[in-house]
Amino acid sequence: MAILVCGGAGYVGSHAVHELIQQNEDVVIVDNLQTGHKQAIHPQAKFYQGDIRDAVILDKIFMENKIDAIIHFAANSLVGESMVEPLKYFNNNVYGMQVLLESMVKHKIDKIVFSSTAAVYGEPKRVPIMEDDETKPTNPYGETKLTMEKMMKWVNKANGINYVSLRYFNVAGALDDGSIGEDHAPETHLIPLILQVPLKKREHITIFGEDYPTEDGTCLRDYIHVIDLADAHIRAMNYLRSGKESNIFNLGNGKGFSVKEMIAAAEKATGESIKVEVGARRAGDPAQLIASSEKAQTILGWKPCYTNIEQIIKTAWTFHKKHPNGYDE
């Protein structure tokens, strides 16, 4: 039996595929390569280039392979873009989930692990955030992910598809050897943008606001290493395989780092000094987003291995030095 990884050529998906194959799982990938990269596809995975909104390609995959469970990463994920193009997000994310779930019902696949986000919570009322805290997304991206979770909840009741939704905070880092990593175009995430300075691809990093109610005035985020995240997906899949009920888990390190602390850690990780400018706040940025992952630790037995922020940044640095212009050089 194989695992179908939707979006297995993307950042988190490609690392999850790597870990699955390390654990001797058979992996089938479907990815439309809109934001994923051919070079990130594991050579031992069976690859279908296609879109999960296309029921015909899903039929073909389910008929040609014995699929035991699905891990679903195939979604658009940029907060800013979702504010400008909300319908792109509703179409790709929500409609994509609809076609995937319809196909799962049709082909009697009853397990799905879903890549969700801290953006479902919106502006948190308290930190660390717990899974049963209020969900009130402040952007279409978070809204579509929350809607996708709700779709799975009702399909679980009606059709017996079991799901685990993993709400992750700030994903960071790369495989230790730097063979796969984070490559977005355009890049909007803090760590790869900071690293562009020592790579001489940008002159400075702009801090988006230093007037937040935090110790140094910059935003606090909970950074989790992509391999720890991949491990959580595999644990979630095995949790469903053991017949346990559908569930939702936060994934984070439980500790917040400010933008300034991240820049200082990147200077240590790269051994280079990084020029900084302070700019205006970015719309929609909460002052702090920190996860309580106690539930995942207790129920899934998950424990992040990468807890040192410098070490996390170092893995990203290894990837970016190997691929200074991303995968498509």
Binding site for ligand UDP (CB under 6 A): 79, 170, 188-190, 193, 205-208, 219, 221, 259, 282, 285
Residue 218 belongs to what H/E stretch?
A: none
- Provide the minimum distance between the beta carbon of 171 and ligand UDP in the complex, in angstroms, as a whole number: 9
- Provide the minimum distance between the beta carbon of 293 and ligand UDP in the complex, in angstroms, as a whole number: 17
DSSP 238-257: HHHHTTPPPEEEEES-S--E
Nearer to ligand UDP, 54 or 80 (CB): 80
Residue 177, SS3 per DSSP = coil
Q: Which of 161, 165, 159, 76 is nearest to 121 (CA)?
A: 165
Query: Which two structure tokens, joined as six digits, stand for 65?
Result: 């392979």
DSSP 73-114: --S---HHHHHH-HHHHIIIIIIHHHHHHHHHHHTT--EEEE
Q: Which of 273, 241, 262, 254 is nearest to 309 (CA)?
A: 262
- Provide the minimum distance between the beta carbon of 190 and ligand UDP in the complex, in angstroms, as a whole number: 4
Residue 60, SS3 per DSSP = helix
Nearer to ligand UDP, 165 or 170 (CB): 170
Nearer to ligand UDP, 119 or 155 (CB): 119
Query: CA-to-CA distance for 140 and 278, rounded, in angstroms?
Result: 27
Query: CA-to-CA distance for 103 and 58, rounded, in angstroms?
Result: 7
Q: How far is CA 154 from the centre of its chain?
A: 23
Query: CA-to-CA distance for 50 and 9, rounded, in angstroms?
Result: 12
Active site residues: 141
- Provide the minimum distance between the beta carbon of 95 and ligand UDP in the complex, in angstroms, as a whole number: 24
Nearer to ligand UDP, 117 or 246 (CB): 117
Residue nearest to ligand UDP (CB): 219
- Provide the minimum distance between the beta carbon of 132 and ligand UDP in the complex, in angstroms, as a whole number: 22
